[in-house]
Structure 1
Amino acid sequence: MRSPIPDYLNQVLDTCGADGSGELAAYIPELAEADPDRFALALATVDGTVYGVGDDEVEFSIQSISKPFAYALALAQHGLDRVLEKVGVEPSGDAFNELSLEVDTGRPLNPMINAGALTVHALIDDETVRRGFSAFAGRELEVDEEVFTSELETADRNRAIAFMLRSHGIVEEDAQEVVEGYTRQCSVLVTVRDLALMAATLANGGVQPVTGQRVVPHEVTRQVMAVMATCGMYDAAGDWFSSVGIPAKSGVAGGLIGALPGQAGLATFSPRLDRHGNSVRGVQVFERLSRDMGMHLMEVPPPARSLVRGRTALPGGRPGHGWTYELQGSVNFVGMERVLRYLADEPPTESTVVLDLTRVHEVRDIGRRMLIEAVRRLVLDGHQVTIVDPEDMLEAFPDDHADGDLDAGDGVAVPVLRRR
Structure 2
Amino acid sequence: MSAFFSVMARNETLRDGFGALNVSTQFTDFSSTALPPPLRFLLAIIMLVMIAIGFVGNAIVCLIVYQKPAMRSAINLLLATLAFSDIMLSLFCMPFTAITVVTVDWNFGAYFCRLSAMLYWFFVLEGVSILLIISVDRFLIIVQRQDKLNPRRAKVMIAVSWTFSFCISFPSLVGWTFIEVPSRAPQCVLGYTEFPADRAYAVTLIVAVFFVPFSVMLYSYLCILNTVRRNTVRIHNHTDNMCLSQVRKLGLMGLPKPHQMNVDMSFKTRAFTTILILFVGFSLCWLPHTVFSLMSVFSRQFYYSPSFYITSTYVLWLSYLKSVFNPVIYCWRIKKFREACLEFMPKTLKIFPKVPGRTKRRIRPSTIYVCSEYQSAV
Q: TM-score range by the shorter chain?
A: under 0.3
User: Taking CA–CA contacts closer than 8 Å with sequence separation of 6 or more, which of the two structures ends up with the larger relative contact order?
Assistant: 2
Going by fraction, where is helix more abundant, 1 or 2? 2
- TM-score when normalising by structure 2: 0.27
Going by fraction, where is strand more abundant, 1 or 2? 1
